[in-house]
Amino acid sequence: MNVKKFTAATSREALRKVREALGPDAVILSNRPVDGVVEILALDNDDVASLASPAPESEMAAPRPNLRMQEPSFDDLDEPAPAPAARPAARPAPRPFQEAPAPRAFQEAPAARQPLNPLYDMDEPVVPPTYANRRAPQPQPEAPAFDMAAMTAMMSAAIAQAKESAAAEMHGMMNEIRAMRGMMETQLSELSWGSTQQREPQKAAVLREMLAAGFSASLSRYLIDKLPAGKDAAESLRWVKTVLARNITTMADEDAILDRGGVFALVGPTGVGKTTTTAKLAARCVMRHGPEKLALITTDAYRIGGHEQLRIYGKILGVMVHSVKDEADLRIALKELRNKHTVLIDTIGMSQRDQMVTEQVAMLTESGADVKRLLCLNATSTNETLNEVVRAYQGTGLAGAIMTKMDEAASIGNVLDVLVRQKLNLHYISNGQRVPEDLHLADRAMLVDRAFRTKRDAASQIADADLPLMMSGLGNLNNDRSLREVYVG
């Protein structure tokens, strides 16, 4: 208990000192005048609380001993009472002051020992505690050292996650915008074509003719938009035929192949007629230069009887047929046949979606000789299939194309469409299995006229109400690169 005394001339002044030192909750123990001044004894409120609840280790907190008198037993009555202890003669002299041994905890760590009462620590001056000092906020312990590497990693992970979520949201937003744009373009194109069909009915008639002939909707729409004004349906159709014929490239004569010679490889999907077309070209070369100027090579070692078919043709023509398996064999064969005027290579037929197509194109390109690739296009295939074939076998460039199975096709507008948009040079057309009769030079005017003549009756089956819907899904034709080089004159 720490009782403090305060003196002043008046009671008001003494109470003010008590309030400054102990606070407004101080307990006044006494208030009396002494020698002309007022003396007040006061106690801090915290000391009063400590008096109300004694410390657990103090004697006040120990349990009270049982002072009830124990009744003696009969056995104790027989025993004599213990003699009183003799009183010491004299009180021993007091020993000199000796510091008591410290507890074990303090003996082990003397540096951590603190004085019990800081008032007795004379090393530093002690400031008397006031109410303001005791109620001031205590200094907080120093925060642990900050790990910058961990925080940098956390921030980087948070930024990366935020970027990923933002990118995903942006991707979804762009997809929605593209979908909305496509829907709006479709509806606007449908409305635009509907109004054009009412204003210029001759365009609808020419469009039906082109779609029935097998031409793609994009090329048809492109040419319809370029139609000169003031022409009727017949004149417009003639204009379209002229533009198509002008944009088809063909070989004028056979001197580019037969007289000039070189190494030619026929490529294309399975069943397109490469082996038969190779035999037809070989027969033409033999008829012009003789069998000693020609050599045949086959790479078809997978199809059963594939190389045997070409060997039979070579035996009939008197030409040796060489079989190769890989690029090394092809290099050796071409090196041995470098004195030949013309070398024809019959390649393996495979799907345009097969990964081996790229390997085949690389084998022919890196064979050590100038191999010109001629792509065989099946006239019975659809427009989409033919475009896939051209893209797969394009490689570094095609020397030309040969249209096969023309006699089996219901319409040839699909092949002409690919020739116009892919800028391929059409060398021959094949319209049968006879060797070498069913192989002809390409005549572009004849091909365009036949494309429209064979499907003239089918044009009437396309209703006017269906044309806006067919034209609505084309979008912006100016973005189609294959149409930019179409010359309309």
Residue 184 pLDDT > 90: no
Is 40 within the bounds of a domain? yes
385 and 276 housed in the same domain:
yes
* Per-residue pLDDT reduced to its tens digit, 282-317: 999 999 888 899 999 988 766 655 677 788 888 888
| Residue 120 pLDDT | 41
Residue 219 pLDDT > 90: no
| Residue 463 pLDDT | 58
Is 396 within the bounds of a domain? yes
| Residue 89 pLDDT | 47
259 and 225 housed in the same domain:
no
336 and 220 housed in the same domain:
no
* Per-residue pLDDT reduced to its tens digit, 58-98: 555 555 555 444 444 444 444 444 444 445 444 555 454 44
Is 144 within the bounds of a domain? no
| Residue 116 pLDDT | 44
Up-side HSE of residue 362: CA atoms within 13 Å toward CB? 7
Q: Are 340 and 235 in contact (CB under 8 A)?
A: no
Residue 449 pLDDT > 60: yes
| Residue 282 pLDDT | 92
User: Rounded to 5 degrees, what are φ and ψ at 440?
Assistant: -135, 155
Residue 377 pLDDT > 90: yes
330 and 239 housed in the same domain:
no
| The model scores a pTM over 0.75 | no
Is 323 within the bounds of a domain? yes
Amino acid at 113: R
The mean pLDDT of 458-486, rounded to a whole number, is: 61
Amino acid at 331: R
DSSP states of 185-238 as a string? HHHHHHHHHHHHHHH-HHHHHHHHHHHHHT--HHHHHHHHHTPPTT--HHHHHH
329 and 419 housed in the same domain:
yes
The mean pLDDT of 470-482, rounded to a whole number, is: 60
* Per-residue pLDDT reduced to its tens digit, 437-448: 889 988 889 999
What HEC string does 244-269 produce?
A: HHHCCEECCCHHHCCCCCEEEEEECC
How many domains, in total, are found in the chain?
Answer: 3
Of all residues in the chain, what percent carry a pLDDT higher than 90? 10
Residue 38 pLDDT > 60: yes
| Residue 55 pLDDT | 56
The secondary structure element, H or E, covering residue 179 is: helix 148-199
Residue 332: which CATH number?
Answer: 3.40.50.300
219 and 299 housed in the same domain:
no
Domain carrying residue 242: 166-247+464-489
pLDDT confidence tier of residue 4, bands split at 50, 70 and 90: confident
Give start and end residues of each alpha helix (H) in 104-147: 104-108, 131-135
Q: With CA atoms as reference, report the closest residue to 113 among 129, 127, 99.
A: 99
Is 321 within the bounds of a domain? yes
* Per-residue pLDDT reduced to its tens digit, 408-431: 888 888 999 999 988 899 999 998
Q: Are strands 262-267 and 342-346 parallel, antiparallel or unpaired?
A: parallel
| Residue 63 pLDDT | 57
Is 301 within the bounds of a domain? yes
349 and 480 housed in the same domain:
no
Per this entry, what is the length of the chain? 489
pLDDT confidence tier of residue 468, bands split at 50, 70 and 90: low
| Residue 76 pLDDT | 45
Most confident range, picked from 141-145, 255-259, 287-291 = 287-291
Distance, C-alpha 138 to centroid of its chain: 55
Q: Which residues share a beta bridge with 346?
A: 266, 298
Most confident range, picked from 40-49, 131-140, 147-156, 335-344 = 335-344
Q: Are 341 and 264 in contact (CB under 8 A)?
A: no
The mean pLDDT of 372-382, rounded to a whole number, is: 91
258 and 396 housed in the same domain:
yes
pLDDT confidence tier of residue 25, bands split at 50, 70 and 90: confident
Q: Lowest mean pLDDT: which of 272-276, 403-407, 439-443, 451-455?
A: 451-455
C-alpha distances in angstroms, 329 versus 145, 314, 323, 324? 72, 20, 8, 5
| Residue 83 pLDDT | 47
Distance, C-alpha 317 to centroid of its chain: 58
312 and 426 housed in the same domain:
yes
Q: Lowest mean pLDDT: which of 23-32, 107-116, 249-258?
A: 107-116
206 and 236 housed in the same domain:
yes
Q: How far apart are CA 276 and CA 272, in angstroms?
A: 9
Pair of tokens at residue 144: 């642990």
Of all residues in the chain, what percent carry a pLDDT higher than 70? 68
Is 282 within the bounds of a domain? yes
| Residue 80 pLDDT | 47
Residue 43 pLDDT > 50: yes
The mean pLDDT of 396-409, rounded to a whole number, is: 89
326 and 177 housed in the same domain:
no
Q: Which parts of 325-399 are beta strand (E)?
A: 342-346, 371-378
Is 293 within the bounds of a domain? yes
| Residue 110 pLDDT | 44
Mean residue pLDDT of the chain comes to: 76
Q: How far apart are CA 360 and CA 351, in angstroms?
A: 12
Residue 276 pLDDT > 60: yes
Q: Are 376 and 280 in contact (CB under 8 A)?
A: no
206 and 308 housed in the same domain:
no
Q: With CA atoms as reference, report the closest residue to 270 among 345, 349, 348, 346.
A: 349
| Residue 189 pLDDT | 61
Residue 344 pLDDT > 60: yes
